[in-house]
Structure 1
């Protein structure tokens, strides 16, 4: 279905709409006039948001592309509207850019759709319309098709609803768009070109990048047969067709547009609307959707339509799968093996009922490529409905704050075996691994325990905790007499752990447990060729093993374990 972009004015004034009469919702709900005002934005922040909206509008209206999802676009517009409502002088002082109109005029304007915020709004809309019908809101690119004497005469992209790009030659290449109808009629059809998908479940897969891929195909100078066959067409309306909905559907089916009748159903109440919306959201379809469209069967003839959302058709979108979030800060986590993972601390946003305050970038190289700094705006989603996932950068802040970025050259699998300056994070991760289930599995001992012991000056090396008595443990923050007693027994009992678990605790390179001999001195005597001769160990792992067992600090730790009588480390 057509994207829900402002369409009341002609395209050259689209940004003027954003500045003067924005009413789009934040997170799909129209803000109340009494809604609390946000903090006033700086002129740089305002200009940056305006420029990004201008880029998105230019891509959408002029080229038929959608760089971001509707949810992100709506949230960005909603933010600007909140600033316009609260700080009108500051917003109206900015001058919007203008753009040329599209090259082709729509024979009947495309109206766009207003959004209903929630089920209550849907129920109120239905109360006044006993002849309501529902369709899926197909997520693709909108097109107008004009037929003369049954032959395709023109195809025009959505544009601003009044003008768009001439897609006639491209449309002629698509099997889904008939070049000739079964009967010689003159008529205008409006619909959605979409990317064909197989058993697509919107609730699980989201848009799956379908619209972006479709936009890329339509932007090409030529489509081969396989590419053209991937593009489908859903006709949602026939502006100059029969006045009655049932007759329109019957005639469209006879013309070959069978999906219109298949996916257009009468709805008498909110329960019916909710059922169809749920079924199309959770069930398999051949296209992506981003909500449902409600249409009143009776509507004015197409010749009087205007390029603005009408009152006889509305959209009820699916819950947003993405959120726009501001970056408060960037932290760099250094893992046990020296891997650096950037973490973004966010201004809290709610997504699918969860409040998201931070998200991982994944890797240092990805952070460097995205160059995310405080003040930037990012898009996030939920992976598997639980884990926040960074989707990308919506826009960068005008001012780029400097950050202290750890050097990858400093951190590796054998760095920070002691908490020297700059090594605090990796050393703590080493201790957390040591006490975790993959190593010694010390019950009730986690990062918080290790932090308290380090703060108390009780740990300056990987094994300083072995042999700590009850009195010493009570010096640590949050450890009282009873806790100190149980903790002392847990730490002392680690001496009895098997040799293989102690190797894991020291950080032996992964993936080789089954191949390792059961005593330290045999392992130390292995050279590169000895390791390569073992099953599953290639040259890379062999080099890592040689370096591990030869490292002076690792050998010192082994000697201490031998002195403590830990099995496998003595002679």
Structure 2
């Protein structure tokens, strides 16, 4: 088995694992399936009947895929869900529309391309698929794709579309072409301009009873010639002679997935005359037209662009508590790809917003990327019938003076306080992340926010995941905080001072800080009467005073040790510190 094949199978099994069946009763499963089917059919009628797009294509596709998963789980004998066109089609396609296989990534493209050369790549033009039928050189049918076997005859609209030749120089009895009617654009860049609802505009213009002015702005991209010339080069040359010259300018030979990726990105960023949603890879030669079947095509495959918005299922909801006691809400979602990011968590912000959105596990949500690539919720696109809401923490129990001690009900805020003081611009504990603190909290001696100052490496080395060397490194970083300036200790404690006031603070000891009056606090920038009162109350809190007393005792002990060390003759570094990478102390 080749390396690419093994990786492909790994991805395949990983995808299957993510599609595990919901733990529903048969009754609930039937209700959820029926309700989602009803919604999908409603969107179908709006799109195919009225030319209105009520949900983005990618979100629709994801919901339909989810419905098929549910059917596979609970209704395995049922036919997989498929879109239903309102008119159901009245005209037979002389050759079926097969559609194209959709590939998720470059690895899948590489696997699909194996043994299929020569190959060509084209932009995947975002429009409306049609069949053109010419008899003795005259256009006699313009058939919508429909279900691939039947569609509607839009021939009366063809006269208003200049891009469609009413007659061609080829006079054979029957000539059949398949392609995409698209809205022509000027210097359209997919990366910045997006889809612009182009497909729905085309569909709407074709379905209106009266001719729409938009018809004159349509182009045609021919991507298949059933039983036409044998090779892509021959087909494109012949199409140009017939008056269909758009595709030839956008058809490139490719030999591997890297070249496909190159063209895909180039067309994503370049100025094009149409909207695209990816690329399509074609084999040079195609099978006989009589073998074409809807949904069965291994001779062409699409690699679509990552949509700007994707959908995912909410798996659970977390309620993190910040160091100041603020409770927020975070959705844990099934992993999805957005741009170059794998998204697993989406922040909602406040508890109030979560309650207003009324999101529960099982709901389907649309996710996009905000500034700096941060995932954010766009909207809820589907809600499960059974609404099991998680219970968030009681907001009244958490505030800026809660959770200086390590208790079970305080674990989240306590960890947030520890993560805060680890930061480079606070006490600067390099490499000591939230996960490190979680391990250390297993120690029975980790009682309050600054208990770590008295820990020994032998204690830390007893914890799972912490080697003796790592334990020595951690304790070394702990000991280095004694060199941090006073302002950083004030910041680590969490005194509610704005940055401007902290930077201007002249105090260098805790007694000086604690002796300040309300008036003296107001002399600092950014501190008014209300904030001064809050700071004064905060510093008089019993827990805060205990923390300050502990810090003072520890700092005094460190000074005593330092004085004792200076009184001794200089000694080489003890063996247990050798091999530790010690950075310079920050200020």
Matches within 5 A, 1:245-284: 245-251=235-241, 254=243, 259-265=246-252, 267=253, 271=255, 275-276=259-260, 278-283=262-267, 284=269
Say which SS state the counterpart of residue 210 (structure 1) adopts: coil
Conservation of the 8 A alpha-carbon contact between 1:439 and 1:505: yes
Matches within 5 A, 1:517-536: 517-519=505-507, 520=513, 525-526=518-519, 530=523, 534=525
1:377 shift after superposition: 4.9
Q: Which position in structure 2 is the counterpart of 1:291?
A: 279
Paired with 2:18 and 2:357, the residues of 1 have a C-alpha distance of: 33
| CA deviations over 1:28-83 (Å, ceiling 9, x no partner) | x999xx99996586433355245435533553475144534176357436625744
Q: Which position in structure 2 is the counterpart of 1:215?
A: 200
| Length-normalised TM-score, structure 1 | 0.64
Matches within 5 A, 1:164-179: 179=161
Matches within 5 A, 1:368-379: 368=355, 370-377=357-364
1:431 equivalenced with 2:406 (yes/no): no
1:193 equivalenced with 2:177 (yes/no): no
1:136 equivalenced with 2:123 (yes/no): yes
Q: Which position in structure 1 is the counterpart of 2:172?
A: none
Matches within 5 A, 1:102-501: 111-115=97-101, 118=108, 119-126=110-117, 134-142=121-129, 158-161=145-148, 162-163=150-151, 179-180=161-162, 185=167, 190-193=179-182, 200=189, 210=195, 215=200, 233-237=219-223, 245-251=235-241, 254=243, 259-265=246-252, 267=253, 271=255, 275-276=259-260, 278-283=262-267, 284-285=269-270, 286=272, 287-294=275-282, 308-309=294-295, 314-318=300-304, 327-345=314-332, 358-364=344-350, 367-368=354-355, 370-377=357-364, 395-408=382-395, 411-413=398-400, 415-419=402-406, 422-443=409-430, 445-448=432-435, 450-451=437-438, 454-466=441-453, 468=454, 470=456, 477=463, 490-501=477-488
| CA deviations over 1:110-135 (Å, ceiling 9, x no partner) | 71413176444444555xxx7x7542
| CA deviations over 1:142-201 (Å, ceiling 9, x no partner) | 4678999x99999886543433698988x99xxxxx744697538987414358596746
Conservation of the 8 A alpha-carbon contact between 1:327 and 1:373: yes
Aligned residues: 502
1:294 shift after superposition: 1.9
Conservation of the 8 A alpha-carbon contact between 1:54 and 1:97: no
1:425 shift after superposition: 0.8
1:405 shift after superposition: 1.4
Paired with 1:191 and 1:97, the residues of 2 have a C-alpha distance of: 19
Q: Which runs of 5+ in 1 are unaligned?
A: 1-25, 173-177
1:502 equivalenced with 2:499 (yes/no): no
| Length-normalised TM-score, structure 2 | 0.62
Paired with 1:402 and 1:334, the residues of 2 have a C-alpha distance of: 19
Paired with 1:141 and 1:538, the residues of 2 have a C-alpha distance of: 62
Q: CA RMSD in A?
A: 5.9
| CA deviations over 1:317-352 (Å, ceiling 9, x no partner) | 2486788765443222212244434344456x5869
Say which SS state the counterpart of residue 180 (structure 2) adopts: strand
Stretch deviating more after TM superposition (159-168 or 418-427): 159-168
1:312 shift after superposition: 9.0
Q: Which position in structure 2 is the counterpart of 1:516?
A: 504
Matches within 5 A, 1:9-28: none
| CA deviations over 1:68-110 (Å, ceiling 9, x no partner) | 41763574366257448xx635x47x99997742688688777
Paired with 1:59 and 1:300, the residues of 2 have a C-alpha distance of: 35
Q: In 2 relative to 1, CA 212–420 (structure 1 residues): closer, same or farther, beyond 3 Å?
A: farther
Q: Which runs of 5+ in 2 are unaligned?
A: 1-7, 169-175, 508-512, 557-587
Name which one, 1 or 2, has greater alpha-carbon Rg: 2
1:79 equivalenced with 2:69 (yes/no): yes
